[in-house]
């Protein structure tokens, strides 16, 4: 009887130790983006707007916008493409963005503030998602306007800083600061994609995400190529 009691005590002690060592998985933060909690608006990524953009290298900017668009497509995020004065001034949307959404005609506007075009806001309302991600040329005009307007209407705004640009670094930086002070959250395009993936065990989007990173992710993408080639390695292994 004493032996049985001793065994029971040992088992109870071990169980308690094991239970105390298990940490329950935490819930992701409510401020994080998921494929089903936001929409994306790509604003005025057009030649005439790019010509005067000096806050970022244009080659890098085009790369980042393409990566952002592809990420949204992979995760089936509702995406609005919009241009300003396409036929009379600014020209067509970047071809690499249109190629991601070949069947989607950008909404062409006259207003510099996208949010003042009801075709845009009607779509945002139709999607019924309280988070809105925005990238725009130029940051200080066509980015600030919809960001501040959406915030005033109760939306949570995320601004993709490296898929946007201003006429100078100062113009871009001050505009980003203004949006942040109003409540917007600055993010980058690669951060956006990896936040949506978030777990390499999600095999449904794994290959598409790593393919985008290889093509548009700079040194990180090159590292993926190297690891696969040299060691047959992959994220999550």
Options 33, 68, 80, 142, the catalytic residue: 142
Model confidence over 27-45: pLDDT tens digits?
889 999 999 999 999 999 9
Mean pLDDT score, 204-230: 94
- Report the pLDDT value the prediction gives residue 10, as an integer from 0 to 100: 43
Residue 17 has pLDDT above 70, yes or no: no
The answer for residues whose C-beta is within 8 angstroms of residue 107's C-beta and 6 or more apart is 80, 81, 82, 83, 117, 119, 120
Cα(207)–Cα(213) distance, integer angstroms? 10
Q: Taking each helix axis from N to C terminus, what angle separates 189-197 and 203-216, rounded to the nearest 10 degrees?
A: 160
Residue 139 — pLDDT band, cuts 50, 70, 90? very high
Question: Considering the entire predicted model, what is its pTM?
Answer: 0.88
The first and second tokens of residue 122, run together, are: 């009607």
Which residue segments constitute the domains of the chain, with CATH numbers given? 38-194 (3.40.50.850), 199-231 (no CATH)
- Report the pLDDT value the prediction gives residue 185, as an integer from 0 to 100: 98
- Report the pLDDT value the prediction gives residue 209, as an integer from 0 to 100: 98
Q: Is 142 a catalytic residue?
A: yes
- Report the pLDDT value the prediction gives residue 7, as an integer from 0 to 100: 53
Residue 51 has pLDDT above 90, yes or no: yes
* Site of tokens 């490296």: 162
Model confidence over 165-213: pLDDT tens digits?
999 999 999 999 999 999 999 999 999 999 999 999 999 999 999 999 9
The first and second tokens of residue 27, run together, are: 């819930």
């Amino acid at each position: 009887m004493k032996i049985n009691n001793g065994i029971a005590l040992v088992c109870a002690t071990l169980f308690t130790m094991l239970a105390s060592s298990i940490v329950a998985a935490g819930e992701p933060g409510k401020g994080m983006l998921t494929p089903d909690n936001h929409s994306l608006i790509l604003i005025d990524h057009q030649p005439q707007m790019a010509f005067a953009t000096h806050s970022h290298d244009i080659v890098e900017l085009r790369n980042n916008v393409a990566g952002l668009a592809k990420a949204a497509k992979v995760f089936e995020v509702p995406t609005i493409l919009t241009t300003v004065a396409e036929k009379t001034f600014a020209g067509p949307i970047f071809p690499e963005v249109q190629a991601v959404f070949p069947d989607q005609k950008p909404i062409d506007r006259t207003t510099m503030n996208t949010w003042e075009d009801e075709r845009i806001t009607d779509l945002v309302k139709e999607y019924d998602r309280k988070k809105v991600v925005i990238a725009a040329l130029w940051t200080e005009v066509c980015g600030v306007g919809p960001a501040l307007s959406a915030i005033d209407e109760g939306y949570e705004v995320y601004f993709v800083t490296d898929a946007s640009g201003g006429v100078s670094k100062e113009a871009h930086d001050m505009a980003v600061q203004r949006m942040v002070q109003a409540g917007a959250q600055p993010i980058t395009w690669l951060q956006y994609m990896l936040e949506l993936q978030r777990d390499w065990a999600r095999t449904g989007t794994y290959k598409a995400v790593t393919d985008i990173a290889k093509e548009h992710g700079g040194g990180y993408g090159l590292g993926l190529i190297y690891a696969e080639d040299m060691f047959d390695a992959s994220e999550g292994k």
